[in-house]
Structure 1
Amino acid sequence: MNCPLAIGRAQILSLFACLLLPGAAQAAAPLSDVAAINKALENAKPGDTILIKNGVYADARIAIPTSGEKDKPIILAAETPGKVTFTGRSRIVLGGKSLHLTGMVFHKNIGGTAVEFKAAQHCRLSHTAFNESGDTKSVFAHMVEVGEGSADNRIDHCYLAKSLSMSIGTRTGALRIQIDHNWFQDIVSRSSNGQEAVQLLAFNEIDAPEHSLFATVEYNLFDGACGDEEILSVKSSGNLIRYNTFLGHPTHNKGGLNVRHGHNNRIDSNTFLRTDYGVRVSGSGNVVINNYIEGVRVGLRLAAGGTNGWAYLPCKDGVFANNTIVNAATGMDVALFFGMKDTKTGSSNLVNIYPSGNRIYNNILTAADPNQLVCDRAESLAAELNVKRDATANDYRNNIVFLTKDASEPIRMPEGFGGFTVADPKLGKGDGREKPQAGSPALGGGISVEQVKEDIRGRPRGAKPDIGCEEVSSIAAPKPHTLPLTAKDVGPDWMKGDSTCLEKDAGAEELKTLIRRYPSAEYRQRLRKVLDEAGQ
């Protein structure tokens, strides 16, 4: 992007696309003056569409204070999707009901929150790209923020890349946000903490009263979105997280899906490929089912809890069923953080509450190290800390474990653990995932689990389900879209799965800025030639 000569021909979309938007019949001529845009929004009626003229807008502040109606939203749209760019410290605030912001680009927009849902209800942000944006001063700021009093909003088909701070986040008092079909890409850590791709926050302290957010996060692609140890951070209850694909970063890999503290969350049918870990859980009543996890450092992590409401909630009364974990360094880690001391305050706080009441059924775990298929952090530390370790505190049934290298080596399981059978699950690649083949002991080897009605592809589970995330059957999968997602499945329609168009357009705009800035006729002529050759 810093090299003007790399610019190619950008795709140009017709203004006719705006006619596809609801209420487009009321659209007036595109506006380029920010004051005029704000005035038009103040006077907008349900069903109106306000168009912003193609171009670059620096430090723009736009607010939609009015409200549309359920079937007649007020729409703020780009003249041509992807051709309206906000930079600097621009911000757009959705402050009413039934509003829709669509088709914009935020490039190097470094003022913190770029789009804010401010007590907004039934509003939507769609088909918008955020590139190299966020907050340069704080990695904890939300680039897209769903604030207190906001309810029933949707963020979909957006592109969020190289974010400088948290990409999407909620605040206490928000409810029922839907986040779907978004593409998070190439987010590299700037600090040891912060910069999550998605933060579902409702209560920040683990001993605070429980707060249910009821968010739905589905069909998103987290493509190297590794800004934090928590790619998706859950600090709330009652959320549904399903059908997402998580990919590791090729050079700066870290993170996974973390229920940091929350209860009754459902983590269902997600795919993790080469992330640092799969799913980590603290809290009670969480359900983790049908997930496919391959090539990670740790597959499943069940956290121990801290004394006096410190550090972590213990993982309690959860269901971990029908997950497939392939080629992990560690398949499952029980009692994560056990023995950790409070070194910051010097108090007697200690992580010493063992996970309990969890049901671990019908999982496949494969790894190369015979000592790392299943680990229990408390096994060696309980006596030292004078804490009782109850190996029967959790219920393990019908799980298969297997070594991927030398299957003849004896597998060491934690003392007192039952419910794990050493057997070759006979996995073979199909549709981007490893699944049991003919003759596998996983076929029909599971037990019925109330929370698991279907598999990762939507096939029904019978009375004797297969072990692992996929029910091997001749029945056509009702949900083909639950295959590992690619860029073509997510993000703005106008990007067509190709993020390079953003770089090309941004490079062209930077050249145009140089042309306006420098008076040298020869220099401007050379730059103009580059733009002409690129069709700009």
Structure 2
Amino acid sequence: MIAGAVLLLAGLVTAAPVAPVTSLAALQTAIDAAAPGARIELADGVYTSTKAITIRKSGITVAAANVGKAEIRGSAGFVFASGASDVVLTGFTLRHKGRLAIPPDSHRVRITRNNLEIDVPVIPDDAGGWVEVSGDDAEVDHNMFQNRTNEGVYVHISGPGANGMAKRSWVHHNYFYNHKFSGGNGGESVRIGNSWRQKGSANTILEHNLFEKANGDSEAISVKSSDNIVRYNTMRDSKGFLVLRHGDRSVVEGNVLFQSGIRFHGNDHKIINNYVENTRDRAMVFGSGKEADSGPTSKLHDRPDRVTVAFNTLIGTGAVVDSDGGAFLPKDCVVANNVIQGKSSKLVDMRSGSTVRYEGNIVWGGTAGSIPSSGYRSVDPKLTRDANGLFHLGAGSPAIDASAGTYSYVTADFDPHARTGKLDVGADEFGGSVSRKALTTADVGPLAP
């Protein structure tokens, strides 16, 4: 709900008229004069900025009159002043220099339905975002981010001070496209936190986003904070993985990944109901451990402790479930009720000495590898590709009603629809009226519903 509507419902203000403007100078004047609830609209056209367009007022909406038809170029763009809260910025095509940064004391800012291809120079030790979020309760939705070629990320959730995290960011229905930075590190599409913020509880929700050609880093999504939810995203044609790089207690659920995978470090994560189809190998990776437990500022790889990987459908060619190197091996983890299908002589390749409990898995098409015989069945799960191109359980699948153990937090499948009774193995619960499809450009970005 936009800020003006919140104020109206609270009975604090009456509806303010829309203020149409036709120049950047008039836009700045209107912003400076705006009262809470005001909506300022910039007419269609291409505008060249020579200085920042500063939003100092709270409770206002700054919009393009028509989505995508007011383009801003030049040496600067929009700037949120310290304390500017309950602001909506919507509908612009942004081609200027300089990032959009939400300050730590600016809360409930929404950036929606914009098309961004901006120029943010690289600052040493600050590979920051085109959108940099440091304030609480920000919403970044229905935007397009495209064609970044230098170091840095599209969206970065940061925070106040040396190690604080912005709280409750909601990043959804965005299209992240064609990040092609050729360096070895620092080119993620989304980064939630930093190594030195890893112990901060961000409670970010990253959902219903489409990632394509996320090739700026081995991590397309990099989580470097704690207590986040990454769900229902689609990733395709990308070298980057969905990675829990630092932090603890995050949930990765219901994502659909093609030619990519999931890698994780840290403690107490739940990785459930994901669909990964990767003919390039490595669908699920237990990350390397360079230390037992990361300190609050460590940049080393934390071993995975007490991570549950359950009810996923994992399809690959080589080692579908794999573990990286490092002296500190996965400890007290669980791999349960997954469908693991491929062609390798070792579909699961966990390093010797890892302490992992296996139960209820179905392995098919190759040799199980390092799973003990008590932790899996070798049986055809009868996966059937549906009209949307995803594998679901076919009638008579031995995965139906075949799960082991109790996982009370698994209440839906990846479609999603409710799981009932004895749960099915893999990301799909057989039957139901909902059929998942991978996101396309029609589902995300400025013009999506």
Q: Is the aligned partner of 1:87 residue 2:73?
A: yes
Partner of 1:11: none
Partner of 1:462: 420
Listed as ranges, the matches of 1:25-104 within 5 Å are: 26-34=17-25, 36-59=26-49, 60-68=51-59, 74-95=60-81, 96-104=84-92
Partner of 2:282: 298
Contact preservation (8 Å) 1:166, 1:198: yes
C-alpha distance in structure 2 between counterparts of 1:163 and 1:86, whole Å = 17
State the 4+ residue runs in structure 1 displaced beyond 4 angstroms: 22-25, 136-139, 415-418
Q: 1:364 to 1:209 in 2, by over 3 A?
A: closer
How far apart are 1:247 and its partner, in Å? Answer: 0.7
Q: Is the aligned partner of 1:401 residue 2:401?
A: no
C-alpha distance in structure 1 between counterparts of 2:226 and 2:198, whole Å = 11
Query: How many residue pairs end up in the alignment?
Result: 417
Partner of residue 187 from structure 1, selected from 166, 169, 179: 179
Contact preservation (8 Å) 2:265, 2:304: yes
Q: 1:209 to 1:162 in 2, by over 3 A?
A: closer
Q: Is the aligned partner of 1:214 residue 2:206?
A: no
Q: Is the aligned partner of 1:314 residue 2:306?
A: no
Q: Unpaired runs of 5+ in structure 1?
A: 1-21, 69-73, 339-351, 380-388, 498-536
How far apart are 1:437 and its partner, in Å? Answer: 1.1
- SS of 2:20's equivalent? coil
Listed as ranges, the matches of 1:302-451 within 5 Å are: 302-307=286-291, 309=294, 311-334=300-323, 336-338=324-326, 352-371=327-346, 373-376=347-350, 378-379=351-352, 389=353, 391=354, 393-403=355-365, 411=367, 413-414=369-370, 418-430=374-386, 431-447=388-404, 448-451=406-409
Deviations 1:474-514 (A, max 9, x none): x312xx5x521111111012xx69xxxxxxxxxxxxxxxxx
- SS of 1:42's equivalent? helix
C-alpha distance in structure 2 between counterparts of 1:191 and 1:419, whole Å = 41
C-alpha distance in structure 1 between counterparts of 2:398 and 2:142, whole Å = 40
Partner of residue 267 from structure 1, selected from 234, 252, 255: 252
Q: 1:375 to 1:81 in 2, by over 3 A?
A: same
C-alpha distance in structure 2 between counterparts of 1:46 and 1:124, whole Å = 15
Deviations 1:30-77 (A, max 9, x none): 13033x322321221111111223322334411111111xxxxx1111
How far apart are 1:223 and its partner, in Å? Answer: 1.7
Partner of 2:121: 135
C-alpha distance in structure 2 between counterparts of 1:367 and 1:442, whole Å = 16
Contact preservation (8 Å) 1:132, 1:162: no
Q: Unpaired runs of 5+ in structure 2?
A: 1-7, 9-13, 160-164
Q: Is the aligned partner of 1:117 residue 2:71?
A: no
How far apart are 1:228 and its partner, in Å? Answer: 1.1
C-alpha distance in structure 2 between counterparts of 1:268 and 1:209, whole Å = 20
Listed as ranges, the matches of 1:279-294 within 5 Å are: 279-294=262-277
Q: 1:175 to 1:257 in 2, by over 3 A?
A: same
How far apart are 1:153 and its partner, in Å? Answer: 1.2
Report the residue type matching 1:316 in the other structure: D
Point out the more displaced range, 323-332 or 235-244.
Answer: 323-332
Deviations 1:395-414 (A, max 9, x none): 110111111xxx6xxx2512
C-alpha distance in structure 2 between counterparts of 1:417 and 1:257, whole Å = 30
- SS of 1:151's equivalent? coil
Contact preservation (8 Å) 2:19, 2:30: no
How far apart are 1:184 and its partner, in Å? Answer: 1.0
Contact preservation (8 Å) 2:291, 2:303: no
C-alpha distance in structure 1 between counterparts of 2:29 and 2:254, whole Å = 46
C-alpha distance in structure 2 between counterparts of 1:413 and 1:53, whole Å = 62
Contact preservation (8 Å) 2:236, 2:257: yes
Q: Per residue, is there more helix in 1 or in 2?
A: 1
C-alpha distance in structure 1 between counterparts of 2:239 and 2:385, whole Å = 25
Contact preservation (8 Å) 1:94, 1:123: no
How far apart are 1:370 and its partner, in Å? Answer: 1.3
Q: 1:415 to 1:470 in 2, by over 3 A?
A: closer
Contact preservation (8 Å) 2:284, 2:322: yes
How far apart are 1:214 and its partner, in Å? Answer: 0.5
How far apart are 1:356 and its partner, in Å? Answer: 1.2
Contact preservation (8 Å) 1:30, 1:79: no
How far apart are 1:25 and its partner, in Å? Answer: 5.5
Percent of paired sites with the same residue: 28
Partner of 2:94: 106
Q: CA RMSD in A?
A: 2.3
C-alpha distance in structure 2 between counterparts of 1:44 and 1:453, whole Å = 47
Report the residue type matching 1:398 in the other structure: G
C-alpha distance in structure 2 between counterparts of 1:80 and 1:434, whole Å = 40
C-alpha distance in structure 2 between counterparts of 1:89 and 1:399, whole Å = 56
Report the residue type matching 1:452 in the other structure: V
Partner of 2:132: 145
Report the residue type matching 1:257 in the other structure: L
C-alpha distance in structure 2 between counterparts of 1:184 and 1:101, whole Å = 19
C-alpha distance in structure 2 between counterparts of 1:219 and 1:82, whole Å = 21
Partner of 2:11: none
Report the residue type matching 2:78 in the other structure: I
